[in-house]
Structure 1
């Protein structure tokens, strides 16, 4: 059966909204991280499984847990969330999602790290807004970068 133009438009709008949800996740992680920004991205009863590091259940626990990690875990991050694969449900109300992670980070100790892995997720449109209902990080690479991050070379700062 052929989809109507309205259904096709709804499908495209859902895909764009989910891609934005993924982008907003990276920005929320990298902005402190921001508990306020994270809260808006997760359903009230969402779950975030963080590889072998634990599980956070509920929007508030996720937001506070991730934001609280900056003091003892990673104090600075730069998430590159790429190659999203979005499989929408037939009613366009939920989706199964996968995307990749590449991330330079600094630990609270000041040590630099490279992190790589993948995310698996489920999202749903709740009250007109797409939110994660389940998110799992599979950290496949966490490698110390002993040289650490450097300041910008003076020649580039003058350009």
Structure 2
């Protein structure tokens, strides 16, 4: 194996780890009472946050506004647990998929519940740092904590 091949493989590993770290920071700041400034900093200036039934917001300023004003009115508490990342890097762009499972407190009625779904994200490397170009969240289920999700399932089928 040549030095160039080793450098390419090392860069790929570093990029994958940096993207995982970006997802971890995003989740941490969501769970830290929706730290809108830090969440928005994860996106490119024209980045898109597409939360499916939660809405879609184009541009860093719109993402910031959503997390500062609207998200706290939807979920009073959330603990993002993301798992099973599949990340594909092509030079300065990448895609990633994660499952998500989270305990939540729905603002409507202050009910404890479960939320599960997946992320499908597009990333771009800007000045050596990975950012979200397009984050997509799709919900599998949203249900009260006190009932099995087969009994009372909100959201997409």
The bucket for the TM-score relative to the shorter chain is 0.7 to 0.9
1:2-46 deviations in Å (ceiling 9; x for gaps): 762111111111011001011111101101110111022111101
Aligned position for 1:93: 92
Query: 1:146 Cα shift?
Result: 3.6
1:85-138 deviations in Å (ceiling 9; x for gaps): 00111xx21101110100101122321110000010000111111100001111
Aligned position for 1:37: 38
Q: Normalized against structure 1, the TM-score is what?
A: 0.85
**Structure 1 vs Structure 2 CA RMSD:** 1.7
Q: Separation in 2 of the partners of 1:83 and 1:56?
A: 26
Q: Separation in 2 of the partners of 1:58 and 1:27?
A: 21
Q: Separation in 2 of the partners of 1:37 and 1:100?
A: 22
Aligned position for 1:15: 16
Query: 1:70 Cα shift?
Result: 4.2
Aligned position for 2:106: 107
Query: 1:67 Cα shift?
Result: 3.1
* Unmatched runs of 5 consecutive residues or more in structure 1: 148-159
Q: Separation in 2 of the partners of 1:76 and 1:67?
A: 14
Aligned position for 2:124: 124
Query: 1:69 Cα shift?
Result: 2.7
Please tell me whether the aligned partners of residues 69 and 75 of structure 1 are also in contact (alpha carbons under 8 angstroms).
Answer: no
Please tell me whether the aligned partners of residues 33 and 72 of structure 2 are also in contact (alpha carbons under 8 angstroms).
Answer: no
Aligned position for 1:152: none
Please tell me whether the aligned partners of residues 32 and 67 of structure 1 are also in contact (alpha carbons under 8 angstroms).
Answer: no
Q: Separation in 2 of the partners of 1:138 and 1:71?
A: 19
Q: Separation in 2 of the partners of 1:100 and 1:16?
A: 17
* Unmatched runs of 5 consecutive residues or more in structure 2: 148-157
Q: Separation in 1 of the partners of 2:35 and 2:85?
A: 23
Aligned position for 1:55: 56
SS in 2 for 1:33: coil
Query: 1:144 Cα shift?
Result: 1.3
Aligned length: 145
Structure number with larger C-alpha Rg: 1
